[in-house]
Structure 1
Amino acid sequence: MSWRIHHVSLPTRDVRETAEFYTEVLGMAESSPPWKDQDRGEFDIDLAHVAWFQGENAQVHLSRHSRNFARDNNFHLDPIINGHVAIEVDDLDAVRERLRRKGVYFADPGNWALSGLDQIYVLDPALNAVEINSQLK
């Protein structure tokens, strides 16, 4: 299976302070999140809650945790509370099938947050949240 790191999501209490570290100390440029359906106001893109850094081949997301994220987004797990790594694969349906065969629960919101991506979320055995995504066909 072909895979690559798509992004790493890091939780933070103060998004702006942490974003300043990434821009001022590490020299990274902050960019706009490519939210799905942002014109409909479906996602809170208040810059106090999220910061986005687009690199050449991967992204870093900074997010402030919300107590009700899972409930408000109809998720059975919260990928923000402790952060997550996002792995992009070429065949997400094959990953779904392997998870089902192994009896591993995964949240399957489909094209939920990020424009152009089909997304699923799973907890690994150490309870790390992992997003697995692929480009929509």
Structure 2
Amino acid sequence: MTQLSLHHISLPVRDLARSAEFYDYTLGLPRLPRPEFGFDGLWYGCGDGQLHLIVNPEGTYRNGPVTGRDIHFALSTKDFDGFIARLSAAGYSEDAAPDDPKRLRVQRDSDAGFAQVFLMDPDGHLVEINRARG
């Protein structure tokens, strides 16, 4: 059977500068070169895969509280506690109100078998950061 691997995830964004600040500084992802497509966007490296941001105000955006039971993508880190501290320094908090866009949902002993934190990017896309195994 043909093996598949994840190449990239594309997310629509409303404000590229605002989203770039989140992915550049809050998450610390490295930018990748992007071809000229005739519309604005950015590419980021994520391990062996990529994250593509595409400016599209008419895109699909979610509303609602931070939960792990909605469409999301996940990134792993070997320094989970350090990453929680990084998010806290960027103004994210477990104590934020459920509808606060900077609310963290931390599960240190999740049923998945590894620690997880869920947060939203500036456009409401749900992001999971989990403790890398090994």
Which of the five TM-score ranges fits, normalised by the shorter chain? 0.3 to 0.5
Q: Structure 2 length as normaliser, TM-score? A: 0.41
Q: TM-score, normalised by structure 1?
A: 0.40
More helix by share: 1
